[in-house]
Amino acid sequence: MKKQYDIEVDCANCANKMEVAANDTEGIKEAKVNFMTLKMNVEFEDGIEEKDTKKIMKTVLKNCRKFEPDCEIEF
Partner 1 sequence: MFKGMTRKQRKTLIRILIGLVLFLSLHLAEELPLPVQLTICLIGYAVVGYDIVWKAVRNIGHGQIFDENFLMVVATAGAIVLGEFHEGVEVMLFYQIGEFFQSYAVGRSRKNITQLMDIRPDCAYIEQGDELVQVDPDEIPVGTVITVRTGEKIPIDGVVVEGESTLNTAALTGESMPREVFPGSEVISGCINMTGPLKIRTTKEFGESTVSKILELVENSGFNKSNSERFITRFARIYTPIVVFGALIVAIIPPLVRMGLMGLAPEWNDWVFRALTFLVISCPCALVISIPLSFFAGIGGASRSGILIKGANYLESLSKTRQVVFDKTGTMTKGVFEVVAIHHAPVDDQKLLELAAHAEAYSTHPISECLRRAYKGTIDTDRIESIKEHGGHGIVAVIDDCTVIVGNEKLLKEQGIKGMFCHSHGTIVHVAVDGAYFGHIVIRDMLKPTSVQAVQALHQNGVRETVMLTGDREEVAREVANELGITDVQSGLLPEDKVRIVEEMMAKTKEKEAGGKHRSILAFVGDGINDAPVLARADVGIAMGALGADAAIEAADIVLMDDDPLKIAEAIRISRKCMRIVRENIVGAIGIKVLVLVLSAIGMATMELAIFADVGVMILAVLNAMRALRVNSL
**Least separation in angstroms between CB 1 and partner 1:** 16
Contact residues toward partner 1 (CB under 8 A) are 10-13, 16, 32, 34-39, 41, 66-67, 69-70
Q: Is the Cβ of residue 8 or residue 47 nearer to partner 1 in the bound state?
A: 8
- Closest contact distance (angstroms) between CB of 51 and partner 1 is 24
Query: Distance of CA 26 to CAs 21, 37, 44, Å?
Result: 10, 25, 9
Residue number, 23 or 49, with CB nearest to partner 1: 23
Q: Would you say 43 or 52 has its CB closer to partner 1?
A: 43
**Buried b / exposed e across 12-48, counting CB within 10 Å, b at 16+?**
eebbebbbebbbebebbeebebebeeeebebebeeeb
